[in-house]
Amino acid sequence: LFRSVYKLCKPPNDLREVGILVTSENDIYIAGGYRPSNSEVCIDHRAESDFWQYEHAGNRWLQRAPLLRARIGCRLVHCCGKLYALGGRVYEGDGRNALKSVECYDIRDNCWTAVSAMPVAMEFHSAVEYKDRIYVLQGETVKPTLDLNLRFFKSLKPGLFLLKQPTSLALC
């Protein structure tokens, strides 16, 4: 099936915990993350707003328009010809804060716009596109009282997220 394995160059600026996406056209994008601190005692990382696209021919990363909101560990999804950055976290004010903000990237115009937020702030979640909808699954919220089995999706109406009831799956 696979004839060759290619090694990509390292992410720029030693970025860690980036959102990553490989589109159906084999384009690779990374967003956000953090740069390691020189201090070994620092555990609160400064979120970055960097956004990069991998150029296969030159084995290098090309910088694109930065995210509107710096974020660590966001999820990137390709849906209806646009890219979306969902959730993640930052270390600000009183410590670690999950994000519910969502941004939409227009590939042709190389710009991000804010779209409606997710119903709850999430980090360590999963997000996928299926039939022109974005589904966000599981994840972790800052408030332990919330059900971590939340599932919601971006509706066909621009920028609207709806809660979807969890379903049971019968496993054979």
What Rg, from alpha-carbon coordinates, does the chain have?
17
For the chain, which ranges sit under pLDDT 50?
143-150, 156, 167-172
Its pTM stands at 0.81
Give me the residues paired with residue 128 across strands: 135
Shortest CA distance to 80 belongs to which of 133, 152, 23?
A: 133
Provide the b/e sequence for 92-107 (b: ≥16 CB within 10 Å): eeeeeebbbbbbbbee
Q: What is residue 167's predicted lDDT score, i.e. its pLDDT? A: 45
